């Protein structure tokens, strides 16, 4: 059973900014990032409980070969995954903790 995936507004903004930054750095790099993130989202959708816990309700999934982690919550009652953050590893973790509450 696959869960439906939705994105919080902040996570969508973070994702778009990352894609734009990578694409500006090197043509095609943003596209590669999108493909890798989509693979992670597909894995989360298929097996959300495979991923490590992050906070009381959250979970996290590392984007392989990129300095980003997707943070998400699972709502089993609605068969839904909500992506809370597309988080670069160098950002202030206090901001992330606030969003994971």
pTM as predicted: 0.93
pLDDT category of residue 94 using cuts at 50, 70 and 90: confident
Cα–Cα distance measured from residue 33 to residue 83, given in angstroms and rounded to the nearest whole number: 17
Architecture of domain 4-100: 2-Layer Sandwich (3.30)
- Give the ranges where 1-101 is alpha helix by DSSP (H): 9-25, 29-46, 93-100
pLDDT category of residue 96 using cuts at 50, 70 and 90: confident
pLDDT number for residue 55? 84
pLDDT category of residue 56 using cuts at 50, 70 and 90: confident
């Amino acid at each position: 059973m696959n869960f439906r995936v939705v994105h919080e507004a902040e996570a969508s903004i973070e994702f778009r900014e990352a894609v734009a930054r990578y694409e500006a750095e090197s043509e095609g790099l943003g596209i590669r990032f999108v493909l890798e993130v989509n693979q992670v989202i597909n894995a989360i959708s298929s097996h959300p409980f495979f991923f490590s816990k992050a906070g009381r309700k959250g979970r996290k999934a590392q984007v392989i070969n990129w300095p980003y982690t997707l943070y998400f919550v699972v709502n089993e009652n609605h068969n839904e995954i909500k992506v809370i953050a597309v988080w670069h590893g160098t950002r202030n973790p206090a901001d992330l903790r606030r969003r994971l509450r």
